[in-house]
Each structure stands twice: as C-alpha cells, then as structure tokens.
Structure 1
C-alpha cells in the first residue's frame, strides 16, 4: 500500500446523561483523527462539545463514525470546531461518514456542524440517522459549499452524497437525500445558479410553530407529514447564509423547545 492509498478510520462514541439536574458526559470513546474538546456548560444549561479533526481534512478513502446517545433529561449541543474540508481524491476513493444519534424521552440533542467544503476532485458519502423516543427533542442542520469558490473551484468536486433520516417509535418523520455530481446540469441556470452555499435542517419538539422563519427566494421551512420541521436555505455568500440560518434556528428552538438562545463560546 502506498502513502497515497492509506486510509484512516476515526471513531467517536459519546453518551450524555442527566445527573442531579446537570448534563454530564458519561462515556467518551475517541479514535484519531476524531476527538472532542472538553465539554462546556452553556448559560442555558446545555452541555456543549466540539468535534475536532486535527489533520488537514478528510482524505479519499477515510471513514468516520460518530455515535451519540442522550439520556432522559440531558440537553446536548454538538458542534464542529471548523469546516469539514474534503480533500482531493486522486485515486477516486470515496470518503465516508456515518452518524447515529439516539435520544431518550425528555432528552434533547442538537447537532450544528460548520459547513462542508468540497475541494476539487473530492468524493464524499454521508449517512445521518436519529432515533427518538416519544418526548425527545432534536435539532440538526448542515451546510454545503459549492467548493473553494475564491480558488476557482466552484462545482469542481467529483461527488457529494448525504442521506439524513429521523425516526420516532418506528415511524420515519424525515428523509432528506442529496446527491450532487457536478456537470453540465448543475451548471445550468436554476440549479445552484448564482448560489454557492446551501443549508438544510430538521427539528423535532413538543411545541408548535406559528411564526415561521422565511426569506423570499432564500429560506423556507414547514412541517413534514410526520410532524418534523424542515428547513431549506441558499445564499450567494457564506456569512449571509450563516446569519439567516442562525436567526431561523433560534426562532424554531424557542417555539419547539421553549429554549433560551444558545450563547456559544469558542
């Protein structure tokens, strides 16, 4: 095996539980290149952890597995420290990532990673599955860039796939599948068009949404048939999308979870 063919498997298994009114991390299994920075308790009582990949990014053939279990009464926020950089894959090998969440009744898990940035020639497949008990709460979003735009790499990656599912009590509440293989069709007007950043998200909670976040032509959301809240957004610039997504997210959290705003410390 040559150096260019070597692959890495990163593992991260986390368990969060409620102890004496506080959320604590009771299980922490890490295998490089995945690791976490020590947990921080936010002013709202949520326990926050940053997922870190200290290498230069995700290489072709790499595999990552993230598993998080949240017990009754625990409130957890999982973030990534920086963008997920998908490096070129000269051999054509696909990098993969599998994420699995389970949330008990009365627990809350939120997962808001930084954007995924596919370099020219990269290939990436991801699956995300969340299994919720009745009364569990979930918030999840992901952001995709069209590439390293300022380096002239717009839609120059080989392939990007993502499949996100949310289940509760044997019923699927949400399914989102994205497959992008840049070519003449993705460069046509109306598909990506002038937009270089896209976001999607899903939230499940016990509250009702009456004040829907919306930006005509840029951001919309609504209910799925199963009762989850979906979100879609797009923008020409990353900071513009980040601001719109943050505002929408806090509005949905307040209505669905009755939650105070997240005051994230970086």
Structure 2
C-alpha cells in the first residue's frame, strides 16, 4: 500500500536519513540528513554497547497532509536502538487529508536495528497511513514494536478517528518474513469483539535473529507470541489500560531480545 496523499496536498514534509556503522568496536552515526519537523537528539551509547537515538518532532503533532520519511541503514557489526521522545499525536484533519509516513530500514549481515516508538494517539477526526519496510541481509537482526491507542480515551474520544492504516513488512532478499496490514475505520464493525471490543490499547511486534525461543511470553487474554511462516517471531497484545499494556510489552520484549538476539537488557535513560 502506498499512502494516497499527493505532494500537492502535503502541508509539511519531514525527512530523516540515518546511516550507522561500526568503527573500532563502537557503533557510530556516520551520516545523517534531517529536515524539520523531524530531527534527532545526539546519539549516546547504552551500557550494553547499543547506540541509542531519539527521534523528535518539536511541533504539536502530526497534521493532516503531513508526510514523514525515515530511512535508517545499519552496517555490519553496528547495534542501534531508535526511540521516539514522546507519543505520536495525530491531529484532526478538517480537510480530510491523510497524514502519511514512510519508514525504510536496511540492515547488513551482523548488524542489529531495534525500533520501539512511543504510543500513537489518533485524535478525533484524524486520518493516517504508514508503511514500514525492513530489508535484512542474512545474519541481520531486527526488533520492532508499536503501540496504538483507540484515541484520547480520557477525553471521551474513543474510536473517534476517521481512518488509521499501517502496513509493516520484513524481507530477506526476495523472501518475506513478516507482514502485518492494519486498516481501521471506526464504526459498528470496529467495535465488534475480536477487533477492539472494549479494549483501548493494542501492541504488535516482530523480531528476527538467529536465536530460538524456548520460553514464550504469554498472558491469557492479553499477550501472545508465535512464529511466522518465514521464521520471524511475532507478538500481539491488548489491554484496557496503557500502563498495563506497557508493562506486559516491555517484559515480553526483553524476554524475546534475550532469546532471539542473546542481548543484554536495555537500560534506557530518558
């Protein structure tokens, strides 16, 4: 799926292109291109050796017609964690123009990229579409998770957004390892059990690496994991409350990272 907002309808276009390499045993940001409203906070190394980068949008949120383009390339031996500084706030779109976001990841053999953005909050009347594609060489590692709220629940805006679409794909050469295609248009069927029901927060994730999972994180009625046909590890979770979902997701994520990557826990300082 390609976002259907044409260039003439776009209000702002943010660009972020990042290239990471391993030099003398450390991961460095070798090249970067930034165009407002997208930018990064200076990278710094975590105790485990992973280089962490915060993506920042200093404006009040994502407006209808906005377009964001994020590209990250990770070289052999590099270890990268990309986070967002705060929740992504999808603002109302009175004109109906859809905000769009394209994310592309390329990871070389022996490299690792992890992308764990903060929650997406679709305001009433917002419209949004994103595509995420990761292309991995043999021996590359990837971790990706996202969380979505049903709206500004405490403001009485549950399932009041106009449209939300997301397509996430992970490829190894010509083999697709993972596909998650989500389309939500609030209405009678969106509120049906099995889609949202009476839950307000949902999460999904995928991990690709050489390790095998022996101990699957699971919480009955809240969190489940498994393998795709391509061998990637998938995760699904849903909850009535955001903090409850975050705790379950963080615990599951660290368990899967340890098993799939053989990685030490992330110690993120905000």
Same fold (TM > 0.5): yes
1:231 aligns to what? 235
Partner of 1:43: 47
Q: Please give the alpha-carbon distance, in whole angstroms, between the structure 2 residues aligned to 1:98 and 1:6.
A: 14
1:92 alignment partner, one of 78, 96, 104 = 96
Shift of 1:168: 0.5
Which residue number corresponds to residue 130 of structure 1? 134
Determine whether 1:59 maps to 2:81: no
Q: CA RMSD in A?
A: 0.8
Partner SS, residue 188 of structure 1? coil
2:86 equivalent among 60, 82, 97: 82
Question: Is 2:172 the counterpart of 1:168?
Answer: yes
Moved over 4 A (4+): none
Once the 2 structures are TM-superposed, how far is the Cα of residue 184 of structure 1 from its aligned partner? 1.1
Q: Relative to 1, partners in 2 of residues 1:171 and 1:190: Cα closer, same or farther, differing over 3 Å? A: closer
Once residues 194 and 43 of structure 2 are traced to their aligned partners in structure 1, the CA distance between those partners, rounded to angstroms, is 42
Specify which of 227, 232, 253 is matched with residue 257 of structure 2: 253
Following TM superposition, by how much is the alpha carbon of 1:6 offset from its aligned partner in structure 2, in angstroms? 6.6
| Number of aligned residues | 262
1:104 is matched with 108
1:241 counterpart SS class: helix
1:184-199 alignment runs, 5 A limit: 184-199=188-203
Following superposition, the deviation at residue 189 of structure 1 comes to 3.8
- Gaps of at least 5 residues in structure 2 are 1-8
Q: What displacement does 1:169 show?
A: 2.1
Displacement of 1:191 in angstroms is 3.0
Query: Helix, strand or coil for the counterpart of 1:117?
Result: strand
* CA distance in 2: counterparts of 1:132 and 1:6, whole angstroms: 31
CA distance in 1, matches of 2:121, 2:41: 22
Partner of 1:204: 208
Structure 2 vs 1, CA of residues 226 and 147 (structure 1 numbering), >3 Å: closer, same or farther? Answer: same
Instruction: Give the TM-score taking structure 1 as reference length.
Output: 0.97
What do the CA deviations read for 1:168-218 (whole angstroms, capped 9, x no partner)?
021000000000000111123443112100000000000000000000011
2:6 corresponding residue in structure 1: none
Q: 1:18 to 1:194 in 2, by over 3 A?
A: same
* Whole-Å separation in 1 of the counterparts to 2:139 and 2:61: 37
**What is the DSSP-based 3-state SS (H/G/I as helix, E as strand, rest coil) of the residue aligned with 1:39?**
strand
Residue 154 of structure 2 is aligned with which of 135, 150, 174?
150
Pair 1:19 & 2:23 matched: yes
Q: 1:214 aligned to 207, 214, 218, which one? A: 218
Residue 177 of structure 1 is matched in structure 2 by 181
For residues 110 and 186 of structure 1, the distance between their equivalents in structure 2, rounded to whole angstroms, comes to: 30
SS at match of 2:210: coil
